[in-house]
Structure 1
């Protein structure tokens, strides 16, 4: 039956369960002194879809969820908060590592299913939407391995799978290069920050809350076809606000007054599966709104973000964002972040307690002036990345609908 589906000229949709192998388990705790590499939910970068935070532990420290033995080319699918699409393909370096039972481990039968094709399928909006729809649990939405494996994958011939995967891989590589360019610009920005403020010790600094007029959480209303442009976690990337995937949300006039963004507001990501991303922030800028198709006074923000409205006679927004993106700032954010069910969270009290260097407003504005050219280049790169993201999304849709 499977062979018939694979060889048919028409693209068949086949349950993943028919195309994957079973995965063995091992309890590292049975060998307390032996080291092992552990891949938990937070080790997967939800944006880049790669494993970046695997830890080396000894058996005596093995978490109870450390059980699944993974192999090169396995595809990991987080069964927790499937809307975040925490997926990754296992590279050679993690062959024989131990993964959390919070993943559904998909090990393709390579005579029927190409691993790279499978990886791009589980990254697709179609797959992510199905998992989100079938998740249960209000505060801790999750799907079972059975639900993941019941899902249907479009299955052309192996030759066609490899052709599709190669096209998507090339498009994804272009996006990766653009992200790398943005990362280099961030490194330059940090070098300028250290050069300007490196002599100031944050431990003797000012509590962030003392320079904030108001902290506020965003709306939890669902997005739809109408409403106000609403910034979410994907819009706060690389220290800037990216309007490439802006959703609309309906709110009342009273909610609009509370949630409306103003120039100079700083937005913080308050939850993420990767501790390196929780607390990342960006400034709502004038250039952002003038270059968009939305009226400046209509922007609001969603519940997974926190807005800090600064006392502008104390803190310059660019100075705040740059410090909290620095190594020292990130270390403080890690200290105040709490973890629950594989997610890292920061709250208003944690943000308020952060210490920032006691730089004068004049020093802060001098730094912001130096950053203007760099910010312009970053915005240009970000816009180019948006174009590549749109191209990738279009290719994904065509690839899995049989029109690529």
Structure 2
């Protein structure tokens, strides 16, 4: 331990305050002057400071919660554990948060940065069957290295400068990643928008058959056959992550749902922005598919399945098919009848379809290389962030590592 530092605990340097939620059906509790924040709202923030919230409490509603003084640190303690904000005005929270009110021995921003560096530990301390929750008692026991206040201020100033640079670098990497994806999607969509003189219009049902997937109890023990679900539909392909579920059915039933190369799987039920996600199966081995997916089998003499996968993932197709979905709350459903009746435009020649599919494959590979590059950059920046935090709380941080940040961002 560096000279002047001491080992202590969160409970010794903070008052830990529970949140609460007044009855939502009592109008007199809501719409007042007191800010009230939830973990979900915290998770949507990029700035550590918060001075306004979506919902507010009246004086009467505040009796079910606790008002934290300004410049406390608010930690989400469930669903999930680890979101952090600093309230720049007095604020209450719901029961999914813990308010940490700093004592005079600790700088609020030093506390904020430290908690951000030990989110993994906080999650490990959470308990619960349905979802993990971090209790106030466990939080108070979390160890924290505490330098003198003057050193805390110095560390905070360095971290502020370093993290401002990191935030800019990460934002640029995220923008470039999005641009790479948009460039590919725009190029594919342009082909389907422009069409050509030799293109024809028809319905999916004219060139394909459809089949709903299997319902049944799934297992993680490797008993039966691997079964694709919605989560394995990724980037226009069916991906075996190595963590797939299994369904225990006899061989005869399996053969009715066995996937074959070129089969298209269409996600028929999901949130509004994910329903319609489509993947093409191109793997070796015994696989089947679950009930929230529709298998679309195209006649190879009329439509190339690679071209079909690109068409069904194009922005124009997704917008049109989603507009016909049945909706309830945040869910949308597209049944096989609607899917078969969806009009599509395509080259009349399967050979020309394959040429387009070859071009799309090239564009996809180039876009993926760019994405991998920027994804690697983002991982490097996150690793650098953790390295800076580790040095900060071990007393080894001497100056803002701006050159390292600039190098990782280039």
TM-score, structure 1 length as denominator? 0.54
- The aligned residue for residue 321 of structure 1 is 313
Specify the SS of the correspondent of 1:310. Answer: strand
How far residue 184 of structure 1 moved from its aligned partner, in angstroms, is 2.4
- The aligned residue for residue 174 of structure 2 is 179
- The aligned residue for residue 343 of structure 2 is 358
Checking the alignment, whether the CA contact within 8 Å between 1:231 and 1:247 is kept in structure 2 is no
Is it true that 1:378 corresponds to 2:367 in the alignment? yes
Residue 121 of structure 1, aligned match among 118, 122, 125: 118
Alpha-carbon distance change, 19 to 249 in structure 1, aligned in 2, over 3 angstroms? farther
Is it true that 1:336 corresponds to 2:331 in the alignment? no
TM-score, structure 2 length as denominator? 0.54
How many residues of Structure 1 are paired with residues of Structure 2 in the alignment?
349
How far residue 212 of structure 1 moved from its aligned partner, in angstroms, is 4.0
- The aligned residue for residue 133 of structure 2 is 143
Aligned equivalents of 2:373, 2:250: Cα separation in 1: 34
Is it true that 1:310 corresponds to 2:296 in the alignment? yes
Alpha-carbon distance change, 105 to 91 in structure 1, aligned in 2, over 3 angstroms? same
- The aligned residue for residue 111 of structure 1 is 107
Alpha-carbon distance change, 260 to 95 in structure 1, aligned in 2, over 3 angstroms? farther
- The aligned residue for residue 198 of structure 2 is none
Checking the alignment, whether the CA contact within 8 Å between 2:209 and 2:296 is kept in structure 1 is yes
Aligned equivalents of 2:292, 2:47: Cα separation in 1: 25
Aligned equivalents of 1:284, 1:105: Cα separation in 2: 45
Aligned equivalents of 1:17, 1:277: Cα separation in 2: 46
Is it true that 1:30 corresponds to 2:25 in the alignment? no
Aligned equivalents of 2:216, 2:47: Cα separation in 1: 26
Aligned equivalents of 2:167, 2:216: Cα separation in 1: 31
Checking the alignment, whether the CA contact within 8 Å between 1:178 and 1:381 is kept in structure 2 is no
How far residue 359 of structure 1 moved from its aligned partner, in angstroms, is 0.9
Alpha-carbon distance change, 380 to 199 in structure 1, aligned in 2, over 3 angstroms? closer
Instruction: Report the more deviating stretch, 163-172 or 101-110.
Output: 163-172
Aligned equivalents of 2:379, 2:138: Cα separation in 1: 26
Checking the alignment, whether the CA contact within 8 Å between 2:36 and 2:91 is kept in structure 1 is yes
Is it true that 1:387 corresponds to 2:376 in the alignment? yes
Alpha-carbon distance change, 350 to 127 in structure 1, aligned in 2, over 3 angstroms? farther
Aligned equivalents of 2:20, 2:134: Cα separation in 1: 17
Q: Where do 5+ consecutive residues of structure 2 fail to align? A: 196-201, 397-410
Q: Where do 5+ consecutive residues of structure 1 fail to align? A: 287-295, 340-344
